[in-house]
Amino acid sequence: MSLDDINLDFPNLKTGDWNQSSDADDGYNCIAFAVHDTRQFWDPDMIGVRGYYWPPGVPIDFSVNTLVRVYELHGFRKCNNGDVEAGYEKIAIYGIASEGTHAARQLADGRWTSKLGTDEDIEHDTPEGLESELYGNVKTFMRRPRFEAPQNE
Amino acid sequence: MPAVTPSTEAIRTRATRGDAHRQEQTITTSQAPLLVYASHGGAPLLMSKRDLLAPTPDDCEKFRTLADTWRKETRRVSSLSKISMHPAYQKIIGMGVAAIPLILQEMVERGGHWLWALHAITDKDPAPENATFHEAVEAWISWGEAEGYLT
């Protein structure tokens, strides 16, 4: 696959606003990548099919509210915006109405990183760059104290 | 209709030839599992599952079109319910057994989230509990080889 057509899905991304940061890998998705997991594909709808993961103890759905609960399990709490705050790592949860669609993670330098479905990872200047018909809008930001990312990322 | 043998290395079949006499045939093989394709009064015909269930050219063309459509339209979607409920994916599941070798070959060559389709068609899940996605893919490919769907 190629990212040549990325603007068809994300017209807000302008040339120079983003760069590819990994090869395509269908072994994980954006929900996992937001918490540095590049080994598992997190999805609630595949329970019963081996090869997928969903955290125990949270509802079996892909709603924005459920994604918030998923990330609360990983130490995130809701916050007001996606501005850089020293000592904090932030994520953005995207959705269409109440349904979750995507999650992005803020890097230490203030840029953002996203796993695009089963495609490549990219880094993008703003979370708004991925707002689109496909992902909807940023519904909420969350933050937790920043820690060093695992070496395998 | 054919007697379907289990996936074991030793396959024992009993073939009945007409009313006059009975002949017992024992076959041991270390190759892919075989199906005994019943004949009408003649000697039973042994075929590999791969040969017997091989998709037709029409199946191959249909699969290719549907798989390409599905990939193009879901590649940046994160929710597997959306990915797997896509009409093209559902039509591939609807192809039934004929789709199994095509899906497995597609997984080998291009990857993709085919685990649900395979599970839906076969009602099996050869992956170990708590497998990661890539581990589950490997388990399905091994299953496909053992069952004669992949060579």
A74-80: long-range contacts, CB 8 A cutoff, minimum separation 24: A74/A35, A74/A144, A75/A144, A75/A145, A76/A142, A76/A143, A76/A144, A77/A142, A77/A143, A77/A144, A78/A140, A78/A141, A78/A142, A79/A141, A79/A142, A79/A143, A80/A141
Whether A151 maps to a domain, the answer reads no
The residue type of A63 is S
Taking the C-alpha atoms of residue A52 and residue A31, their distance in angstroms, rounded to an integer, is: 12
What distance in Å separates the CA atoms of residue B117 and residue A49, rounded to the nearest whole number? 10
Q: Which two three-digit tokens encode residue A15?
A: 């040339």
Query: How far apart are the two ends of chain B, measured CA to CA in Å?
Result: 26
Task: Nearest chain A residue to B134 by CA: give it.
Answer: A27
Average pLDDT along chain B: 79
Chain B positions touching A104 (Cβ under 8 A) are none
Which residues on A lie below 8 Å from B76 (Cβ)?
Answer: 9, 116-119, 134
- Taking contacts as CB-CB distances below 8 angstroms, the residues of chain B near A40 are 132-133
Taking contacts as CB-CB distances below 8 angstroms, the residues of chain B near A50 are: 115, 125, 127-131, 136, 139
Q: Which of A35, A38, A49, A105 to mutate to test the interface with B (most CBs of B within 10 A)?
A: A49
Look at B3-17, B44-58, B115-129 and tell me which has the smallest mean pLDDT: B3-17
The shortest C-alpha distance from A66 to chain B (Å) reads 13
**Tell me, what's the pLDDT at B28?**
42
- B85 versus B51: which is more confidently predicted? B85
pLDDT at B151: 74
Output the pLDDT for position A147. 78
Residue B13 confidence (pLDDT): 35
| Interface contact flag, B76 A116, Cβ < 8 Å | yes
Q: What is the DSSP string of B32-71?
A: S-EEEE--SSSPPEEEEHHHHTPPPHHHHHHHHHHHHHHH
Residues of A in contact with B136 (CB under 8 A): 50-51
Residue boundaries of the structural domains of chain B: 8-50, 57-146
The average pLDDT across B134-147 equals: 96
**How does pLDDT run along chain A (153 residues), one tens digit per residue?**
567 788 889 999 988 899 999 999 999 999 999 999 999 999 998 888 999 999 999 999 999 999 999 999 999 999 999 999 999 999 999 999 999 999 999 999 999 999 999 999 999 999 999 999 999 999 999 999 997 655 555
Closest Cα to residue B23, out of B46, B43, B6? Answer: B43
Confidence (pLDDT) at B10: 33
Across B22-26, B27-31, B70-74, the highest mean pLDDT is recorded for B70-74
Residue A150 within any structural domain of the chain: no
pLDDT in tens, B10-24: 333 333 333 334 444
For residue B11, list its beta bridge partners. B27
The reply to whether residue B129 touches residue A41, judged by beta carbons under 8 angstroms, is no
CA dihedral angle for residue B2, residue B6, residue B12, residue B18, rounded to 10 degrees: -10
Report the SS3 class of residue B89. helix
> What does pTM read for this prediction?
0.81
Q: Could you read off the pLDDT of A80-105 as tens digits, one per residue? A: 999 999 999 999 999 999 999 999 99
Query: How far apart are alpha carbons B110 and B68 in whole angstroms?
Result: 11
Closest residue in A to B78 (Cα) is: A117
Enclosing domain of residue A11: 3-145
The span from the CA of A55 to the CA of A40, in Å, is 11
What φ, ψ does residue B54 adopt, rounded to 5°?
A: -60, 135
- Whether residues B76 and A43 touch (CB distance < 8 A) is answered with no
- The answer for residues whose C-beta is within 8 angstroms of residue A61's C-beta and 6 or more apart is A44
The number of C-beta contacts closer than 8 angstroms across A and B is 85
Number of domains in chain A: 1
The mean pLDDT of B109-131, rounded to a whole number, is 96
What is the token pair recorded at B94? 């609807």
Instruction: Say which of B84, B128, B134 has its CB closest to residue A27.
Output: B134
Compute the distance between CA of residue B92 and CA of residue B49 in angstroms, rounded to an integer. 20
